[in-house]
Amino acid sequence: MKRKAISLAIAATLFAGPLLAAEPKAGGDIVVTYQNDVATLDPAIGYDWQNWSMIKSLFDGLMDYKPGTTELEKDLAEDYDISEDGTVYTFTLKKGVKFHNGREMKAADVKYSLERTVNPKTQSPGAGFFNSIAGFDAMAEGKAETLSGIEVLDDYTVKITLSAPNATFLHVMAINFASVVPREEAEKWGADFGKHPVGTGAFTLADWQLGQKLVFKKNPDYYKAGIPRLDGITFEVGQEPMVALLRLEKGEVDIAGDGVPPAKFLQFRKDPKYKDLLVVGDQLHTGYLTLKTTLPPFDNLKVRQAVNMAISKDRIVRIINGRATPANQPLPPAMPGYAEDYQGYAYDVEDAKKLLAEAGFADGFDTELFVMNTDPQPRIAQSIQQDLAKVGIRAQIKSLAQANVIAAGSEPNQAPMVWSGGMGWIADFPDPSNFYGPILGCAGAVDGGWNWALYCNKALDAKAAQADAMADPAQEAERIALWKEVFLEAMADAPWVPIFNEQRFTVRSARMAGDDALYVDPVHVPVNYDYISVK
């Protein structure tokens, strides 16, 4: 997502209080805090760790995952059928599902929603996920206003035809970008739909005071019995993480969304009274530094290779109290296709200097490094800055709110380097293809996209498409081997400096209930608000 991506600061979220033996109950309200305001709640636009799970609680798609797992299940789809050649998916919808405005959701809404995401006017960073649907290219190029591959057969049946078999298509139908929205509301609000979201989800947006708070209330008409378990959630924004933590310890806050400040992490982890409350989860995550391949001097391969060799990843891991392991490639170790025998670019200051000299920059150069402004991200950026200075690269740090870093990342003449911390990639779905298309593929190298290196290798795109087309389970081993090649070839071009793969640590209070996995949910990152509860 991930994705939807996640902050190192929230990797250790504290819920203070004594452990009580009590059963989860229905009802209750909780308070969640964040330092930065939420950029949008439009499922076609929102793509950061802060709004990802919020959007998932306001909207539904045809598919989803069993809570706390990566196991696919049907959501708005009552059933589905796949043709023998793997190119036609026919979905039958659940009847009686209502949008928050009271209207019943129909098949025409599914078609409209997918086309709205793909429409270039929407500027969705997730449009590329749907490139396997027939008619995608024509619509993405502005030559068509609809997707020829989507047909409404009746009010409760929609047929989606792919241009080629795609092994990940059901996963794509489970991501936020495939959420179903009502046309009348999306067109009524236009670009402001993200501030006035209407979906079919477990919660509704009751109030949004910009810069202050968002209030979610339980959807009384939600089609899943007993869900959500909470009556409401108040997301308070503008809260400095340390202040939020102090308020949490006083019982004024239930979830400090930006987490325990890193300087406090070891203290809390070693404190016996929190030992039984600590929830640890592995995640499909990579934190990385992007190098804008279209912007001099990063359009020079030797410069990008030199930057890879100049940064001490071990030192950065120490900054975050060892909550991660150094990375040498885009894929995390738990992801199929990870190359265990790949060594990557070794940390070597002298060799980095030699490469810069060969590239014509013996005296180094000046540049900028963009970073999210929540601790520990600026401190990590300072470590990178210090390492680069040793080889003559003078990087000025631009510490901004998350939304501003994301906006600058896709601009061709801005953000020559972006440290992804707080936005580091977590898989939208558990397949290596998700670590390529949106963040390394040509489809993501667009305005509003997540490929901040603007890296576009059409030969690799073709190889990635070949891997995605291997929908037959008997081809899975061959498919994963092909993905391995894709990522190693991308690393040869060095559009990134992979920095680390992190774990997630959540500490929940006695007041909060629900399975541990809901607090480190791999899909509803960071928390599955639909299923958590109070005791």
Residue 6 has pLDDT above 50, yes or no: no
23 pLDDT band, cuts 50/70/90, is low
Residue 429's pLDDT is what?
83
Q: What is the mean pLDDT of residues 170-190?
A: 96
Residue 19 has pLDDT above 50, yes or no: no
Residue 18's pLDDT is what?
33
Cα gap 175→52, rounded to integer Å: 10
22 pLDDT band, cuts 50/70/90, is very low
**Among the listed ranges 9-18, 421-430, 471-480, which one has the minimum average pLDDT value?**
9-18
Residue 449's pLDDT is what?
87
Q: How many CB atoms lie within 10 A of CB 59?
A: 28
Cα gap 106→182, rounded to integer Å: 9
Q: How many CB atoms lie within 10 A of CB 87?
A: 20
Residue 192's pLDDT is what?
96
Q: What is the mean pLDDT of residues 61-66?
A: 95
Domain 58-189: CATH superfamily, name plus number:
Dipeptide-binding Protein; Domain 1 (3.90.76.10)
Residue 3 has pLDDT above 60, yes or no: no
Residue 335's pLDDT is what?
85
Residue 323's pLDDT is what?
84
Cβ atoms of 499 and 444 closer than 8 Å: no
Q: Across the strands, what pairs with 513?
A: 533
Q: Write the DSSP string, 417-442.
A: EEE-TTT-EE-SSSSGGGGTTTTTSG
Tell me the helices (H) and strands (E) count for the chain, helix number first: 14, 23
- Per cent of the chain over pLDDT 90 is 68
Residue 339's pLDDT is what?
96
CATH architecture of 283-501: Roll (3.10)
Residue 8 has pLDDT above 60, yes or no: no
Cα gap 30→330, rounded to integer Å: 36
Residue 390's pLDDT is what?
98
Cβ atoms of 182 and 28 closer than 8 Å: no
Residue 510 has pLDDT above 80, yes or no: no
Q: What is the mean pLDDT of residues 268-293?
A: 81
Cβ atoms of 525 and 48 closer than 8 Å: no
Residue 247's pLDDT is what?
84
Q: What is the mean pLDDT of residues 6-30?
A: 51
Which pTM was predicted? 0.75
Q: What is the rounded (10 degree) CA torsion for 502, 44, 132, 73?
A: 70
- Tell me the average pLDDT of the chain: 90
Q: How many CB atoms lie within 10 A of CB 441?
A: 25
Q: What is the pLDDT of residues 289-331, one digit of tens each?
A: 999 999 999 999 999 999 999 999 999 999 988 888 999 999 9
Residue 279 has pLDDT above 80, yes or no: no
For the chain, the structural domain boundaries read 58-189, 283-501
Residue 89 has pLDDT above 90, yes or no: yes
Residue 260 has pLDDT above 80, yes or no: no
Cα gap 521→284, rounded to integer Å: 11
Residue 210's pLDDT is what?
92
Q: Across the strands, what pairs with 504?
A: 281
The distance between the two most distant Cα atoms of the chain, rounded to a whole number of Å, is 68
Name every residue whose Cβ is closer than 8 Å to that of residue 411 and which is 6 or more positions away in sequence.
447
Cα gap 193→228, rounded to integer Å: 23
Q: How many CB atoms lie within 10 A of CB 145?
A: 10
Residue 21's pLDDT is what?
38
**Among the listed ranges 276-285, 374-383, 499-508, which one has the minimum average pLDDT value?**
276-285
Residue 20's pLDDT is what?
36
Residue 275's pLDDT is what?
67
The three-state DSSP-derived secondary structure of 299-349 is: CCHHHHHHHHHHCCHHHHHHHCCCCEEECCCCCCCCCCCCCCCCCCCCCCH
Cα gap 264→20, rounded to integer Å: 24
Q: What is the pLDDT of residues 116-129, one digit of tens each?
A: 999 999 999 999 88
Q: Which of 517, 508, 514 minimizes the C-alpha distance to 531?
A: 514
Q: What is the mean pLDDT of residues 452-473?
A: 92
Residue 1 has pLDDT above 70, yes or no: no
Residue 16's pLDDT is what?
32
Q: What is the mean pLDDT of residues 28-41?
A: 93
Cβ atoms of 258 and 244 closer than 8 Å: yes
Q: Which of 373, 139, 98, 424 minimizes the C-alpha distance to 240?
A: 373
Q: What is the pLDDT of residues 400-437, one digit of tens each?
A: 998 899 999 989 999 999 999 988 788 878 789 989 98
333 pLDDT band, cuts 50/70/90, is confident
Residue 66 has pLDDT above 80, yes or no: yes
Residue 246's pLDDT is what?
80
**Among the listed ranges 62-76, 170-184, 254-268, which one has the minimum average pLDDT value?**
254-268
Residue 388 has pLDDT above 70, yes or no: yes
Q: How many CB atoms lie within 10 A of CB 314?
A: 11
Q: What is the mean pLDDT of residues 73-88?
A: 94
Cα gap 347→36, rounded to integer Å: 34
